[in-house]
């Protein structure tokens, strides 16, 4: 064991056996700092002059960790801070489905939103993503991160896995990023190491089987289930895939790898799996396997009518200029709130709203107050927003930080009314320009609360 690492003894015993002569390199890797990586939003950010993550078109390594809190473009959804190994999801998706087709996708254990935002960047605009999180507080964080990403073809739900059994054969793809013992996070999260035990790993394995079994009926015949964990434990990985293929009529799919990726391909009996070790790849521990369902499955049919209330015709006409492609959006009203929903998915979203606990759908566009349309923050961040229709104010760095802190701000502009506050081309939210002053409309729950320190500027 490398000096200075306090791995649990039972973990050391198992991993020595699993890794054999590679154990010293594995242990030594845990003395090195975790790599810092981001994934850009292709609708809001351009390719960067940084070291690329080899298995992702959108991923980059940073030379050092900046203060993301004090980077305005981070708050505007220009990129997502994500661990590099988990971006291998991109290969699983690209190599197993036709991304030019409209697909209905479930990210079952989605919070805080890394893989959901990644999926949205990969799927066609005609596709629909259901991002689910069973724990309500985490579902709120998930909803916030999807708002920042700005795609309108997503629904956030707050349900247990078994609830999806009501949606038989509904999904083309299901991603199960299963709760696990977290061994792959030992380097970056010491709490994961302190909480680890053989008993917990065994419980995780059984829980993972239960989750997959509960959600399986909602996957279409010939649909794809992507199973992944951030652990090395074979009971939580290979053994669970073997269990699935034994219990269900399914096939484990092989993925193509490049030699310089350093990803370990697992081939045992009739299963394929892909494991990331920190001494072989520039990332943390990760496991992924792709399964195609072959058994017959009854498929629930979406409603044949729109179940949502529609705003009046005058409001719809006023909103038309707000959108880059207004014909692709249908409008629903919930009390005073107007929501934009992908027109081609309106019946599917109607079904989801009836069957599940939906906490966010489409894009919140505006609130109606005394015949006045007050734009919603989510719409400022939306890629659907026709930015040419609104005044915009280009903020300096200090002004952008003040805006994100919800401080008083008086930008020099002759414009009046609701205006987009922008920094380096990224929209951060709305301000209401009143001539000699401005109302800062940044959401209070999202505001930066830390004391600013120029030395931490990212």
For 275-295, give one letter per residue: b (16+ CB within 10 A) or e: bbbbbbbbbbbbbbbbbbbee
Q: Please identify which of the residues 109, 204, 230, 422 carries the catalytic annotation.
A: 230
Widest distance between CA atoms in the chain: 73
Cβ–Cβ under 8 Å, residues 404 and 448: yes
Asked if 180 is an active-site residue, the reply is no
Question: What is the token pair recorded at 44?
Answer: 């809001």
Judged by DSSP in three states, 314 sits in helix
Sheet of 372-375, strands arranged across: 329-334, 337-342, 363-369, 372-375
**Structure-block tokens of residue 261:** 């990726």
Residue 445: which residues within 8 A CB-CB, separation 6 or more? none
Strand pairing partners for 286? Answer: 276
Q: How many angstroms from the chain centroid is the CA of residue 317?
A: 33
- Tell me the catalytic residues: 230
């Amino acid at each position: 064991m490398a000096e200075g690492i306090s791995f649990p003894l039972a973990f050391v015993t198992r991993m020595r056996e699993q890794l054999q002569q590679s154990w010293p390199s594995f242990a030594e890797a845990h003395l090195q700092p975790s790599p810092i990586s981001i994934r850009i939003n292709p609708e809001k950010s351009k390719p960067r002059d940084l070291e690329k993550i080899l298995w992702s078109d959108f991923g980059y390594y940073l030379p050092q960790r900046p203060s993301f809190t004090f980077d305005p473009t981070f708050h505007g959804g220009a990129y997502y801070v994500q661990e590099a190994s988990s971006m291998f999801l991109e290969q699983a998706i690209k190599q197993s489905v036709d991304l030019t087709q409209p697909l209905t996708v479930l990210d079952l254990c989605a919070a805080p939103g890394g893989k959901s935002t990644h999926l949205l960047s990969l799927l066609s605009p005609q596709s629909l993503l259901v991002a689910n999180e069973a724990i309500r507080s985490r579902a709120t964080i998930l909803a916030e991160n999807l708002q920042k990403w700005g795609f309108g073809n997503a629904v956030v739900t707050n349900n247990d896995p078994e609830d999806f059994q009501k949606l038989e054969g509904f999904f083309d793809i299901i991603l199960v990023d299963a709760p696990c013992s977290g061994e792959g996070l030992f380097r970056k999260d010491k709490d994961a190491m302190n909480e680890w035990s053989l008993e917990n790993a065994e419980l995780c394995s059984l829980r993972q089987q239960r989750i997959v079994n509960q959600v399986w009926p909602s996957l279409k015949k010939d649909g794809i289930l992507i199973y992944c964990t951030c652990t090395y434990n074979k009971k939580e990985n290979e053994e669970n895939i073997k269990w699935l293929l034994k219990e269900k009529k399914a096939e484990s799919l092989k993925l193509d790898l490049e030699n310089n990726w350093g990803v370990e391909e697992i081939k045992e009996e009739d299963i394929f799996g892909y494991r990331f070790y920190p001494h072989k790849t520039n990332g943390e521990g990760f496991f992924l396997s792709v399964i195609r369902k072959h058994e017959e499955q009854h498929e629930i049919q979406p409603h044949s009518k729109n179940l949502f209330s529609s705003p009046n015709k005058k409001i719809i006409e006023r909103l038309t200029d707000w959108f880059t492609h207004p014909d692709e959006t249908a409008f629903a009203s919930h009390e005073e709130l107007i929501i934009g929903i992908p027109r081609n998915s309106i019946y599917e979203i109607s079904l989801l709203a009836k069957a599940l606990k939906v906490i966010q759908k489409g894009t919140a566009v505006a609130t109606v107050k005394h015949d006045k349309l007050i734009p919603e923050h989510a719409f400022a961040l939306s890629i659907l927003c026709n930015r040419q229709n609104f005044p915009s104010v280009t903020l300096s760095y200090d002004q952008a930080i003040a805006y994100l802190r919800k401080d008083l701000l008086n930008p020099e502009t002759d414009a009046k009314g609701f205006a987009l506050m922008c920094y380096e081309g990224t929209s951060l939210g709305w301000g209401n320009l009143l001539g000699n002053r401005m109302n800062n409309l940044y959401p209070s729950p999202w505001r930066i609360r830390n004391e600013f320190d120029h030395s931490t500027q990212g």
